[in-house]
Amino acid sequence: MTETTLDTPSHRWWNSRALSRFMRHRLAIIGTAMLLLLTLACFAGPHLLAYDELFIDLRARFSPPLTGDHYLGTDPMGRDITARLLVAGQTSLLVGFFAMILSTLIGTVIGVVAGYYGGRVNAALMRFVDAFLAFPSIFLLLALAAFINPSPVMITVIIAVTSWMEIARIVEAEVKSLRERDFVMAGRMLGLSNTHIMFRELLPNMVGPIIVAATLTVARAILLEAYISFLGYGIQPPLPSWGNMLNGAQQYLDSAPWLAIVPGITITIAVTSFNFIGDGLRDAFDVRSEPT
């Protein structure tokens, strides 16, 4: 499914060729810039605003954007949407980021082990991956969310649990193709432990594809959070997340369309940034992968 031109163990991801190729990728630079701005706004912005994201003012409910200090208006509780949007960004970005870390870890470990040992271990682990893939992801997400108290940490875990399979497959394929190479043989002959060979020798050669997949996983995780929170199974109020700000917005589409429009645009910007960066990384590492 995925091929790579990485040939020798010395080919490291931080080499200048990849970096310079990334820098020449215009979309990737735009994506990085957008993401940096957004992150900065989300983490520094709330301190500069006149309103707290939790401050309720029932007299000011449904103020349209640009009412007084409410730059983006207020929600049905009279809370400042700007403040909520930025704090929601912290939640959503952190959920996305940590879900990526966790799913990359799970996927990589399973993929490396399955690919390296082959045979029965491979068959068992890959059937496990297939089983997870055979589940409609939304089923897993919603069933787990109903099962567990949906705190941001649990939502992160749930998302990670449902999105590690692709990385596992990519890594497994990579390891299989690298397994019989000379440097692995050499490692075995030198008496290096399997763990050492797997994680010290093989893994560095797959950093490119893993980083690309991980970047796209962040994008996916942010979207997934939005989906489950929109359906009401995700992060619970009053803690804002981009998804739960949209929950209920449909009801007010006629009278207060900004409730839906503002968070939606923000999610799109954030996810687009990650997709742009992922695209740039893919070119930089010369990873050829098919969209799934």
Q: Please report, as residue ranges, which positions from 91 to 150 form the binding site for other proteins (by CB under 8 A).
A: 127-128, 130-131, 133-139, 142-144, 146-147, 149
User: Does residue number 207 form part of the binding site for other proteins (CB under 8 A)?
Assistant: no
User: Does residue number 275 form part of the binding site for other proteins (CB under 8 A)?
Assistant: yes
Tell me how many residues contact other proteins (CB under 8 A): 62
User: Long-range contacts for 135-143 (Cβ within 8 Å, ≥24 apart)?
Assistant: 135/162, 137/162, 137/163, 137/224, 138/227, 141/224, 141/227, 141/228, 141/233, 142/228, 142/231, 142/233
Token pair listed for 175: 């390891």
Stretch of 65-73, 193-201, 205-213, 240-248 lying at the interface with other proteins (CB under 8 A): 240-248
Rounded to a whole number of angstroms, the minimum distance from the CB of residue 206 to other proteins is: 23
Rounded to a whole number of angstroms, the minimum distance from the CB of residue 66 to other proteins is: 19
Taking residues 147 to 186 in sequence order and writing x for each that binds other proteins by CB under 8 A, - otherwise, the string is x-x-------------------------------------
The answer to whether 35 and 270 are in contact (CB under 8 A) is yes
Taking the least distance from each CB to other proteins, the nearer of 65 and 264 is: 264
User: Does residue number 52 form part of the binding site for other proteins (CB under 8 A)?
Assistant: no
Inter-CA distances, 88 with 76, 259, 267, Å: 16, 14, 10
Please provide residue 45's backbone torsions phi and psi, each rounded to the nearest 5 degrees.
-50, -50
Whole-number Å distance between alpha carbons of 291 and 92:
24
Whole-number Å distance between alpha carbons of 259 and 74:
8
Rounded to a whole number of angstroms, the minimum distance from the CB of residue 232 to other proteins is: 4
Stretch of 12-20, 36-44, 92-100, 242-250 lying at the interface with other proteins (CB under 8 A): 242-250
Rounded to a whole number of angstroms, the minimum distance from the CB of residue 259 to other proteins is: 10
User: Does residue number 27 form part of the binding site for other proteins (CB under 8 A)?
Assistant: yes
Whole-number Å distance between alpha carbons of 113 and 127:
14
Q: Is 178 helix (H, G, I), strand (E, B) or coil?
A: helix
Taking residues 253 to 272 in sequence order and writing x for each that binds other proteins by CB under 8 A, - otherwise, the string is xxx-x--xx-xx--xx--xx
The label of the residue with tokens 């799970």 reads: 106
Inter-CA distances, 199 with 41, 194, 212, Å: 37, 8, 18
Alpha helices in 53-80 (DSSP H): none
Q: Using CB under 8 A as the criterion, which residues of the chain lie in contact with other proteins when the complex forms?
A: 27, 54, 56, 58-59, 61, 76-77, 127-128, 130-131, 133-139, 142-144, 146-147, 149, 219, 223, 226-227, 230-233, 236-238, 246-255, 257, 260-261, 263-264, 267-268, 271-272, 274-276, 279, 290-292
